Structure 1
């Protein structure tokens, strides 16, 4: 134990000048991404003892600093142990504490990318500007202007509006009120004429200052530059141009809401740093991985920001204590380089935010599909203020995906966008699963079909990446739609255009409305008619960390069991291996009043049918009672990697199945 609390540690570093405690204090603060995180760290009501735990690793010994040594800590940090002292090339405390950002260093990094990298020439989508831009003027004045005819260097802000449930109504009203109003379809004069940047929320104000400090004269902010009354669907499908053509995207990782400041005093550097030795080893602060910032900042909890990041060739991440720069050729953090983003170790390549754009450029179709699955897995845990924007928030990614395949395969390709999935690899895309059964009360099956991940409630963790070998018996047949809608979608000017962008926009708009498809594959019951239901506890066994099943108490019986808490379901025939499936929804405490139930009711397990997708992947389905006379099925779950029952579909009929 180092100190009784972080506040004691901070006092020791500040008053006694203890270099060890200064190093430990800096480590804790550098781990805090947002200003709110720093406030929690220093909150007198949230204090606990500070421990240091030695970790001996092949990559180097480390001290893990933690608030509790045994259970999940409320805060933690890492300090590296070296044989030699390590000095920062640009130590902000060298000539006294530097509490503000060194924009000179950041300007050098941005200029180096512009002058010496191929990022712009390789990844810039076109020479079109956004429809509206915020022009930065002198005396802290800005104004809304139409994007010039020739491309200008502009910055895009990616930020979190915040959760309206977690802030006063007046604060949320101020954030919403920052939007540009229109009169007769034109922005009001109050925005077209110069106005004070102080009229905007704090995150936007600081983004304006950062943009100006870096020598750029234009900023694009969604709430300001998409005037009210604009066709939101059209603007959403153009996001790959807005972000792809920008000088860079500024990600406000430090802000939990639009009223948070970005430019603040950086407390990690309030004391001068000095090399310090502890029991024969030199201590130095470690670099927070960029992946942690990308995945754990408040911005990462907002659905819209996923495509903002993945469509941006250059990204500047702004955290509470330092900035990080990422482009296709390098990653740099304030004070030190992180190194190139394309190492020989291919498994590390996914750490690059620009991997999606790289695959679109190279036309690696197989890897592009894998990257789409990664996008889905990153997208489903995020939140939306308006659930109806479920598809719009990734529309730009879908358009860019389609355009990449179109350019790789010629003007006309067979690919179709199907409610968040893609036709050319449909079986693979259908094989998503939930980490745990969801509460069915919050399902979005009024927005998307049951077979699409988009029908799940918001903030759901999903799994999309697993070994998959498609079944030779599975085939996508067609989209089922009204004849009038079909003719309108397939014969419009954009669909027949030779411009991949126009076709992509039409394909995305049509795809988000797909509800019913016909497929073909081997089909059978999941649970046999004479199967006996047993409790989950009766068959599950645990040996330390190992978990498995023991069916010894039920010899010669077909059986099934269901885990009520997480939605797992198991089916086993008397003398064959078991199959463990995952239901999308658990049974709610109170049955829904509506006759439509996306979950399998207790006692309805024998109604589950299954459709083979791959050699060890199947959809779990139940008959859809709401489709009239035409037989159709809705998805209720999936079973993946059933190695104990590879011959489950042997000899089963192949039939056409309508999925709704």
Structure 2
């Protein structure tokens, strides 16, 4: 992110108010053992913050943890995970001309207003006002969800579930706020109380009590009221539960629901709808350093608070975050504002994003920035996002293809391409080259009604995936790989291996020709497969060895499936071209 701290800034000297160990840590590349920090004799806010964060990485029996500075990042040992990041305000001095400090730079712990207080809500309103007046993020297309909750003004305790609150012209001038949250584990009784069903829908339309809601929903109502808005969208209340038709209809509208919301409240600290996110929050944990020119340097933990927080481990939430034009992340440590202009913290620090993954994520008109960045960056982001998504949790694994459908639809339209089961036709070859990310074999997900994705799609299986990483490869046009008119199938040339055998070696299978290793295969599922029954589909090849028989082919391992009248995917691999037959048959991957 922009405003990363330069080494030059930190080496200009820190005052005695920063303890000696922290001074050495920030002013050089030496590591400092955590045991030397946060001793009772020290009154150093940075020591305390470091100690608090490092506890997440401490394992029982571990005697020593070293903290190491690498540029603007504080890490656990050289090459270890980043635990904190330093940000500098490189603009004008925070001191007025009439109040120039002559004393040395200093360190201070900033004590912000706690969440839920009047000054806290005033800050949220100011963030929105600034964005409404000066950014493009506030412009939304006219849209109104099927249902919204009428919450009224501050203090209103009777809520109503409304369908179309006013006429078409009037509703387009109204705003609603969307909640992004973790459901958590609920009993059947709690589901009946908290969720909308066919049975309680009429009563909720007439009016229901604020006190009937779980704490996270109550907090969302309060934030909505304090922001001066009267309407709130919460999935489990605005979508009729245990109604497959309503759920299917509404799931297809997620793109519009979050993209058209005035803003999204992300309950980043809550692991369930019963936790709440306003009360009980500690005051923001960060430290501010001032250099000799009066410029601020802030130490905060956005990555862990938001990106690695419990909420963003949920699959549905990744889509909600990208599609939202602006989001208020209320984490356990701090509150963050995220819009197309960057990220603001409740310590008044502003973090701007240079072109990169985060820059694309906060695009209020996603994926406009992404598609403007070119082919390579677009496909790299798509691969990154699918990898991250595949590792996220779902209450129902059969939602794997649905929980990202709004985002896929948005990218599909922007690229003017066709998408099927997490694969875009314009990136067909690259997105077929996925493999399981862990050492355990995966298993197929059972979808209701027999609606399983085809075997070539990563959406058909449990677990995380990684795409085969290759900086330079060429798509062989001669292979004719393309979507079939049958939505489930891909047309391809089916080839055979030449005199090869397989030998399992830990996570992968080695391909041998005589005694020479000529390639590798990664099977998707555990199976006792004879090498003679395996065929292959050439998906890509080395870009710099067009006529060399030793060049590498990137392949899918496939096997005939008579029931499906085609070939099913078994895994992915690479092999020297010399050991793949030139002869081929046209077949269907199903």
Q: Indicate the TM-score class for this superposition, using the shorter chain for normalisation.
A: 0.7 to 0.9
What is residue 484 of structure 2 aligned with on the other side?
Answer: 479
SS in 2 for 1:392: coil
- Whether 1:258 and 2:258 are equivalent positions in the alignment is no
Describe the shift of the 1:293–1:462 C-alpha distance in structure 2 as closer, same or farther (beyond 3 A).
farther
Candidates 368, 381, 385, aligned match of 1:375 = 385
Cα 1:188/1:57, change in 2 over 3 Å: closer
1:622 aligns to what SS in structure 2?
strand
SS of alignment partner, residue 509 of structure 2: strand
- Distance in 1 (CA, whole Å) between partners of 2:261 and 2:335 is 19
C-alpha distance 463-173 of structure 1, shift in aligned 2 (>3 A)? farther
Query: Which residue of 2 is the match for residue 569 of structure 1?
Result: 509
Q: Secondary structure at the match of 1:267?
A: coil
- Post-superposition shift, 1:86? 4.5
How far 1:428 moved relative to its partner?
Answer: 2.1
- Per the alignment, residue 583 of structure 2 pairs with 653
Where does residue 427 of structure 1 map in the other structure? 429
Q: Assess if the C-alpha contact under 8 Å between 1:360 and 1:400 holds in 2.
A: no
Establish whether residue 85 from structure 1 lines up as the match of residue 89 from structure 2: no
Counterpart position of 1:505: none
- After superposition, where does 1:27-42 map in structure 2 within 5 Å? 27-29=50-52
TM-superposition CA deviations, 1:409-457 (whole Å, max 9, x none): xxxxxx4332222233322221112123544555448511110001111
Using structure 1 for the length normalisation, give the TM-score: 0.68
Paired position in structure 2 for 1:201 = 214
Matched, 1:525 2:527: no
Offset, 1:59 = 4.2
Q: Of residues 148, 151, 159 in structure 1, which corresponds to 2:181?
A: 159
Change (3 A) 1:24 1:231: same
Q: Which moved more, 1:108-117 or 1:374-383?
A: 374-383
Gap change, CA 1:70 and 1:520, over 3 Å in 2: closer
2:121 aligns with 103
Deviation at 1:50, TM superposition (A): 8.2
Structure-to-structure mapping, 1:316-395, within 5 angstroms: 316-341=328-353, 343=354, 346=355, 348-355=356-363, 357-360=365-368, 363-364=371-372, 366=375, 367-395=377-405
Q: 1:154 to 1:27 in 2, by over 3 A?
A: farther
What is the aligned counterpart of 1:131 among 119, 142, 146? Answer: 146
C-alpha distance in 2 between matches for 1:251 and 1:401: 23
Write the distance in 2 (CA, Å) between the matches of 1:87 and 1:352. Answer: 34
Given the superposition, is the C-alpha separation of residues 155 and 276 from structure 1 closer, same or farther in structure 2, using an over 3 Å criterion?
Answer: closer
Contact conserved, 1:433 with 1:637, CA < 8 A, in 2?
yes
2:232 counterpart (219, 223, 231): 219
Q: Would you say the 8 A contact 1:175–1:258 is kept in 2?
A: no
Contact residue 160 and residue 208 of structure 2 kept, 8 A:
yes
Structure 1 residue 308 corresponds to structure 2 residue 327: no
Residue 181 (1) aligns with residue 107 (2): no
Q: 1:276 to 1:659 in 2, by over 3 A?
A: closer
Deviations 1:146-198 (A, max 9, x none): 24432222111111112x3xxxx63x641464111235xxx633212332222
CA contact (8 A) 2:111 2:283 kept: no
**C-alpha distance in structure 1 between counterparts of 2:481 and 2:560, whole Å:** 19
Change (3 A) 1:223 1:284: same
Task: Pick closer, same or farther for the CA change 1:181–1:321 going to 2, 3 Å.
Answer: same
Instruction: Tell me the secondary structure at the aligned position of residue 286 of structure 1.
Output: strand
Tell me which residue corresponds to 1:239.
254
Deviation of the 1:462 alpha carbon:
3.0
Give the alignment partner of residue 573 of structure 2, picking from 639, 652, 659.
639
Indicate how the Cα distance of structure 1 residues 87 and 240 shifts in structure 2: closer, same or farther if over 3 A, else same.
same
Given candidates 457, 460, 477, the residue that maps to 1:455 is 460
Instruction: Give 1:416's aligned residue.
Output: 418
Distance between the aligned counterparts of 1:175 and 1:322, measured in 2? 30
Among 400, 418, 423, the alignment partner of 2:410 is 400
Q: How many angstroms does 1:252 deviate by? A: 1.2
Report what 1:617 is aligned to.
554
Residue matched to 1:53: 66
TM-score (norm 2): 0.76
Provide the C-alpha distance between the structure 2 equivalents of 1:27 and 1:268, rounded to a whole number of angstroms: 16
Cα shift at 1:233: 1.9
Structure 1 gaps of 5+ residues are: 278-282, 407-414, 482-513, 532-558, 588-598
RMSD after superposition: 3.9
Shift of 1:56: 4.6
Aligned position for 1:515: 488
The gaps in structure 2 that reach 5 residues or longer are: 1-32, 89-103, 542-552
Most deviating of 48-57 and 604-613: 48-57
CA 1:3 to 1:30, structure 2 compared with 1: closer, same or farther past 3 Å? closer
State the 1:326 CA deviation: 1.2
**CA positional deviation for 1:573:** 2.3
Partner Cα separation in structure 1 for residue 433 and residue 62 of structure 2 = 46
CA distance in 2: counterparts of 1:144 and 1:218, whole angstroms = 10
> How far is 1:328 from its partner?
1.3
SS in 2 for 1:473: helix
Q: Is the alpha carbon distance of 1:317 and 1:58 closer, same or farther for their aligned partners in structure 2, counting shifts above 3 Å?
A: closer
1:267 is displaced (CA, Å) by 3.0
3-state SS of the aligned residue for 1:119? coil
Is residue 83–residue 301 contact of structure 2 (8 Å, CA) maintained in 1? no
Aligned mates of 2:300, 2:443 — CA distance in 1: 42
- CA separation of 1:54 and 1:241: change in aligned 2, threshold 3 A: closer
Residues 397 and 356 of structure 1, relative CA distance in 2, 3 Å threshold: farther
> 1:146 aligned to 163, 169, 189, which one?
163
Alignment of 1:560 with 2:502, yes or no, is: yes
| Pair 607,212 (structure 1): closer, same or farther in 2 beyond 3 Å | same
1:276–1:360: structure 2 CA closer, same or farther, 3 Å change rule?
A: closer
1:130 shift after superposition: 0.6
CA distance in 1, matches of 2:474, 2:107: 49
Q: Which residue of 2 aligns with 1:578?
A: 518
- Aligned-partner Cα distance in 2 for 1:561–1:63: 40
Contact 1:473 1:654 (8 Å CA) reproduced = no
Instruction: Report the Cα distance in structure 1 between the residues aligned to 2:343 and 2:54, rounded to whole angstroms.
Output: 18
